[in-house]
């Protein structure tokens, strides 16, 4: 039995050599040539004019205690509070800032429709000392009483 097993052991490297000698022949497979076409320009589409959408309508803040401020023009605000510390215009929008000992009031005015006079649509209030947000209506009342 020993001689047969030795014979089998001797055949294993020979079989392995046969298996490894059959390498894949991918290099000899013919490659289909690709054809290139000249670049073509896309068909010209007609140019459309840009769609002009109307500006959005201003959202109007509605809080109790701001009734005399919201909807007011800049001239009406000057009558109520005096001359603002800041008066900044950007496009058709405007920001007025009033400062008192207790608070700073920022009033934002936007036109209700293009070409119309800007009116107050939004108000922000903060403490003059540290900039923390405060009650808007209380700030308006404090600035009116000075």
Two structure tokens written together for 110: 């936007």
Predicted model pTM? 0.58
Once rounded to an integer, what is the mean pLDDT over residues 68-92? 93
All structural domains of the chain, each given as residue ranges with its CATH number in brackets, are 74-144 (3.10.450)
Q: How confident is the model at residue 140 (pLDDT cuts 50, 70, 90)?
A: very high
Burial label for 120, CB within 10 Å (0-12, 13-18, 19+), is buried
What does the pLDDT read at residue 92? 87
Question: Which of 45-49, 55-59, 73-77, 88-92 is least confident?
Answer: 55-59
Locus of tokens 């001689």: 3
What does the pLDDT read at residue 146? 73
Cα–Cα distance measured from residue 34 to residue 26, given in angstroms and rounded to the nearest whole number: 18
pLDDT in tens, 82-131: 999 999 999 889 999 999 998 999 999 999 888 889 999 999 999 989 99
Q: Does the structure show a pLDDT above 80 at 53?
A: no
Two structure tokens written together for 90: 């950007």
What does the pLDDT read at residue 43? 67
Task: List, in sequence order, the alpha helices (H) in the chain.
Answer: 2-21, 74-81, 136-144
Cα–Cα distance measured from residue 69 to residue 79, given in angstroms and rounded to the nearest whole number: 11
Cα–Cα distance measured from residue 84 to residue 20, given in angstroms and rounded to the nearest whole number: 93
- Give 60's strand partners: none
Question: Which of 16-25, 49-58, 126-135 is least confident?
Answer: 16-25
């Amino acid at each position: 039995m020993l001689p047969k097993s030795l014979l089998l052991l001797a055949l294993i490297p020979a079989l392995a050599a046969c298996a490894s000698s059959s390498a894949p022949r991918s290099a000899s497979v013919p490659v289909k040539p690709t054809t290139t076409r000249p670049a073509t320009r896309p068909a010209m589409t007609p140019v459309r004019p840009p769609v002009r959408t109307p500006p959005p309508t201003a959202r109007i803040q509605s809080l109790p205690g701001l009734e005399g401020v919201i909807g007011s023009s800049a001239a009406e605000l000057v009558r109520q509070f005096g001359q603002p510390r800041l008066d900044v215009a950007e496009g058709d929008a405007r920001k007025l800032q009033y400062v008192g000992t207790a608070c700073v009031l920022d009033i934002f005015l936007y036109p209700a429709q293009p070409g119309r006079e800007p009116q107050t649509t939004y108000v922000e209030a903060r403490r003059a000392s540290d900039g923390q947000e405060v009650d808007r209506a209380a700030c308006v009342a404090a600035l009116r009483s000075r």
